[in-house]
Structure 1
Amino acid sequence: MNNLEQIGWNQTIQDIEKETLARVITVQKNSYQVTDGTLDYMAHLSGKFMNQAINPLDFPAVGDWVEVLKLPDERKAVINRVLPRASQFVRQAAGTKTEPQIVAANIDTVFIVNSLNHDLNLRRMERYILSTYESGASPVIVLTKKDECSPDEVEEVISHVEGIAVGLPIIPLSNVTKEGIDLLMEHLLPMRTAALLGSSGVGKSTLVNTLLGKEVQDTKDIRSTDSKGRHTTTHREMFRLPNGALLIDTPGMRELQLWEGESAMESAFQDVEAFEEACKFNDCQHDTEPGCQVREAIENGELSEERFQSYLKLQRELAYEKRRQDQKAQLEEKSKWKKVSKNQRDSYNFRKMR
């Protein structure tokens, strides 16, 4: 096994020298840290890269494989290009701009972390599940702080989560007693990459410390009034666990605004779509039509009204985001051709003056 395989390399790309390969392990604004499995390097983007990158998705993210020029004596590297991604978890960037933000790349598993307290939010969890399916990774639900709840409380929460995490592994655990850690390790395999995603205060950084067996991430107590946490992790970082697995820790996200997910609705809401497909009419609006299996499922308790309304809301949100993205793409295309036209005019006028 070579050093690249130890940090997750399992791709076959013919037009690249293995000596130039590295993986991004930390991103902090415009600063990157990469590793080739032997040495870590502080890295920056080449001038050519900066000139050619036009979209936020073009820039490196934690987990990316990149082609670099290494400067071993200085422990520095220059990133020349990002290799094609096997998977990418993307969200709508915070703020008012319409642009994507990559949370993690080339991940096999996403641990959707929530705590077993009153900050548990099923609707938010649905968003994470949808985005994980869209990313190409496999979702696993992790419920922390089991030691703070009674067995009956844990079972009640699990039953609620099962209603929206259809067919997914659900792992309740405690960083204090270590109960459930063995179940989590079944999804942390050597040379495979997982990412921890969830809100602040749910115990992601504490879980990283538990799995590494040492304090590498700062942690802070949550507010007892509403179980909400404070941001402790300020950047995305990849760690190598003792068993050879790779784990990405990410800052807490209070809200997860969708960027895409239309193709993953069937996986994330397979229960709702199964009822829809069973409706008598293909264009059933699930209102007063005869033979509507969705309304029947809600009435007999097989499907909750909240789950169905969440499904409709996410569909509307995705349609709205798609329209915004299309409008932005049109404006960018128009701006690009205006710039090309201006350059051509300037060139023509310059030649005439000569």
Structure 2
Amino acid sequence: MNILCRRKSLDKSDLHQNPVKIEDWGWNTQWEEAFSLYRTQGLDCGRVIRESHHIYTLITAQGECLCEVSGAFQYKAIGPQDYPVTGDWCALRRAGKGHGVLEARLPRKTAFSRQTAGNRSDEQVLAANIDTIGLVFAIDGGRNFTKGSLERYYTLAKHSGAEIQILLNKADLCSEEERSWALNSAAEAAPGCRILLVSALTGLGLDQCNRKKGETIALTGPSGVGKSTLINSLSGTNLQKTRSQRENDKRGRHTTTHRQMFRLPSGALFIDTPGMKELQMWGDLQDVDAVFTDIVQIAEACQFSDCRHEQEPGCALQAALQSGELDERRYANYLKLKREIDFLNRRQNDQAKRNEKDRWKKIAKFQKEMTKERRNR
């Protein structure tokens, strides 16, 4: 079915179809090499700059192009993680001016993901091919910023493979004492990470944000922490709609409803993501250890290498907890994240078998349909 028949609200007037340099959107020799096979097939390359309900807006050398995935693409996809997301580079076949069909997605170099909500253990990719993840929190009160939530976001970001920076927004609304507490809390929750005090309203700290030409930066965090406002401030224009927090509890309002990439005057590429109310873990146990390096270092001093850190003699972790060297809250969250990922890994093993079975069913069905179509010609 034609895209415009399914989504009448998206027509040519929504697209900017002036020629562009795709190098300005992150294209380089590595991507050209990965795309070379598709070019011989007469396909064009493009980067997903917006995705909404499986309708994709891509930036190409001819301008923006509205696309959907091909039937073959759907048959080959095992789960939601295989579908394009904002930041992906894809191979597309033209289907008229300003429209196309996505035939393939190039392999990702980085991906920021979480586990999908519900009973399945699928990966939901939130943004792809990003150089830096900005974890945005508001520090003007309410429950938007806690050590536990930062540790959770930081663990997911570690798994992405991208660089990480923490943006403590709305610093202009805080006293010096509150700013100091926020900086210390962030440093304890994410040791070694780059932390910035910023204000989207006054511009405080924005000159220190990574925004090099051609670099892709994804902003993520809870609702109402000022991600969209930060992008507006960095761009010098109102690219995104914004809303204020609820005054009674400083909780965020859900404003951004889709993931979209913007090119700023500096040449940097920013991806704005909706605030996340549910953030289920995705990754490996090593990602947790990479965030809680202080706990891992203490555990290395245990008397026995197979210490379970419970009642064993010579347990360095229990000694650190009793002396106050190790914060009980942080240790409890460390164990909690470990349990969540361990449970995820066990569920994934069972689901992998089901996915492989479903995959071959799809391939067999596709082959039958192709055979039937050839016979009817």
TM-score of the aligned structures, taking structure 1 as reference length: 0.90
Q: Give, in whole Å, the separation in 1 of the partners of 2:356 and 2:91.
A: 29
Deviation at residue 293 of structure 1 after TM alignment: 2.2
Q: Counterpart of 1:127 in structure 2: which amino acid?
A: R
Task: State the partner residue of 1:45.
Answer: 69
Equivalent residues of 1:61, 1:104 under 8 A apart: yes
Identity %: 40
Counterpart check, 1:140 vs 2:165: yes
Counterpart check, 1:3 vs 2:21: yes
Deviation at residue 123 of structure 1 after TM alignment: 1.1
Counterpart check, 1:177 vs 2:199: no
Q: Counterpart of 2:168 in structure 1: which amino acid?
A: L
The counterpart of 2:339, out of the listed 316, 336, 347, is 316
Q: Give, in whole Å, the separation in 1 of the partners of 2:352 and 2:257.
A: 31
Equivalent residues of 1:131, 1:261 under 8 A apart: no
Q: Counterpart of 1:41 in structure 2: which amino acid?
A: C
Equivalent residues of 1:124, 1:256 under 8 A apart: no
More displaced, 250-259 or 231-240?
Answer: 250-259
More displaced, 296-305 or 138-147?
Answer: 296-305
Q: Counterpart of 2:306 in structure 1: which amino acid?
A: D
More displaced, 289-298 or 151-160?
Answer: 289-298
Q: Give, in whole Å, the separation in 2 of the partners of 1:240 and 1:234.
A: 19
Q: Counterpart of 1:5 in structure 2: which amino acid?
A: E
Q: Give, in whole Å, the separation in 1 of the partners of 2:106 and 2:365.
A: 33
Task: State the partner residue of 1:348.
Answer: none
Counterpart check, 1:17 vs 2:39: yes
Matches within 5 A, 1:33-112: 33-36=57-60, 39-71=63-95, 74-112=97-135
| Secondary structure of the structure 2 residue equivalent to 1:15 | helix
Provide, for residues 274-310 of structure 1, a one-character-per-residue CA deviation record: whole Å limited to 9, x for no partner: 1111222111222333332222333343321111111
Task: State the partner residue of 2:352.
Answer: 329
More displaced, 329-338 or 279-288?
Answer: 329-338
Q: Tell me how many residue pairs correspond in the alignment.
A: 340
Task: State the partner residue of 1:129.
Answer: 154
Provide, for residues 132-157 of structure 1, a one-character-per-residue CA deviation record: whole Å limited to 9, x for no partner: 11111111111111111101111011
More displaced, 297-306 or 230-239?
Answer: 297-306
Q: Pairwise CA RMSD of aligned residues?
A: 2.3
Q: Counterpart of 1:61 in structure 2: which amino acid?
A: V
Q: Give, in whole Å, the separation in 2 of the partners of 1:125 and 1:267.
A: 14
Q: Give, in whole Å, the separation in 2 of the partners of 1:172 and 1:70.
A: 45
Q: Give, in whole Å, the separation in 1 of the partners of 2:136 and 2:354.
A: 38
Q: Give, in whole Å, the separation in 1 of the partners of 2:265 and 2:127.
A: 21
Counterpart check, 1:251 vs 2:269: no
Deviation at residue 330 of structure 1 after TM alignment: 2.5
Task: State the partner residue of 1:228.
Answer: 251
When residues 189 and 340 of structure 1 are mapped into structure 2, their CA distance, relative to the original with a 3 A threshold, is closer
Q: Give, in whole Å, the separation in 1 of the partners of 2:76 and 2:207.
A: 46
Q: Give, in whole Å, the separation in 2 of the partners of 1:56 and 1:342.
A: 20
The counterpart of 1:266, out of the listed 283, 286, 289, is 289
| Secondary structure of the structure 1 residue equivalent to 2:37 | coil
Q: Give, in whole Å, the separation in 1 of the partners of 2:52 and 2:362.
A: 32
Note the residue ranges of structure 1 that are not aligned, 5 or more in a row: 344-354
Provide, for residues 20-77 of structure 1, a one-character-per-residue CA deviation record: whole Å limited to 9, x for no partner: 1110000001100000255111111122212222221111010001011235x62112
Equivalent residues of 1:6, 1:37 under 8 A apart: no
